[in-house]
Structure 1
């Protein structure tokens, strides 16, 4: 939805109608260094773009809600944004620092604070809450070591990723 709507206007949104985060133009990726650009190309060739699904569910003045599904071991680089973000885990789990967080847990990342997390064995689905529509992503993984490991991991996970379903769907199937 666009910023033309009012915060006080009742709105319904459907995930199936939500645009992709990159297609929506809400997130600007800061320019890469030459080394980052070289490795991002290799990561894409190894299947990076098959490892996530990002959809902007709602965008109204002062409130933005994005859904993200990252498949297992998705190599999310150390990065920061220029806006605060509150993350709520719907299903699956992540490792962030020394902590393991699962469904119902969350974390808050203030603007400008570097962070990264690693999705667990079933991947992770999160909701991202922001108070702005436009924000940037500054990739801080500058060393070749991270990128080499990421490309190796991508090559190893492609078969699993091809069969992957969001962890919330696994729960639904198990309950029936």
Structure 2
């Protein structure tokens, strides 16, 4: 049986084997697995300002796999991407595929990872080459709640995105450098 036959059969039946491919994986927002929670007018305006400043150019986030009780997301955040302080309503396990990130006082590199329990606030900063991570979650559907709530905080995020946009244009995923 060919890979394509297995892939199609199990996708249709929900069987115990399924192939996924990064190249054809949907963008997280398009997949509809993540809901924005507790969005105030200030947060909505901040998200819009960050988008207008080019934040979308600093990230690529795809849903690789999902089914009830499990999801796997690939995220590439380019160098210095201003990830806002946020929570998710489910447990998350992160694995650094390539590049590096700063999480508090800890620098994590390829092969490292971290666990974040449901509703625990966190953020990290991608290193000079950016970072690629796999995000394993204990649910197919989950939320994101931004804790950056003021115009001033979102102004800093938008300013960082605008400052980094030119550098991001030439960046490639850190895994492509090896």
| TM-score between both structures, scaled by the size of structure 2 | 0.89
Q: What does residue 167 of structure 1 align with?
A: 174
Q: What does residue 158 of structure 2 align with?
A: 151
- What RMSD over aligned residues (CA atoms) do the two structures have, in Å? 1.7
Q: Structure 1, unaligned stretches of length 5 or more?
A: 172-176
Residues 44/52 of structure 1: CA separation in 2 closer, same or farther (3 Å cut): same
CA contact (8 A) 1:80 1:113 kept: yes
Q: What does residue 5 of structure 2 align with?
A: none
Moved over 4 A (4+): 1-4
Q: What does residue 59 of structure 2 align with?
A: 52
Counterparts of 1:37 and 1:102, CA distance in 2: 33
1:2 Cα deviation (Å)? 6.9
CA contact (8 A) 1:29 1:136 kept: yes
Residue 74 (structure 2) aligned to one of 56, 67, 70: 67
Matches within 5 A, 1:32-43: 32-43=39-50
How many residue pairs align between the two structures? 169
Q: What does residue 95 of structure 1 align with?
A: 102
Counterparts of 1:158 and 1:66, CA distance in 2: 24
CA contact (8 A) 2:99 2:130 kept: yes
1:4 Cα deviation (Å)? 6.1
| TM-score between both structures, scaled by the size of structure 1 | 0.90
Q: Structure 2, unaligned stretches of length 5 or more?
A: 1-9
CA contact (8 A) 1:3 1:59 kept: no
Counterparts of 1:23 and 1:2, CA distance in 2: 19
CA contact (8 A) 1:4 1:60 kept: no
Residue 5 (structure 1) aligned to one of 11, 14, 36: 14
1:143 Cα deviation (Å)? 3.0
1:41 Cα deviation (Å)? 1.4
What do the CA deviations read for 1:69-112 (whole angstroms, capped 9, x no partner)? 01111111110011000000000111111111111000000001
Structure 1 residue 142 and structure 2 residue 149: aligned? Answer: yes
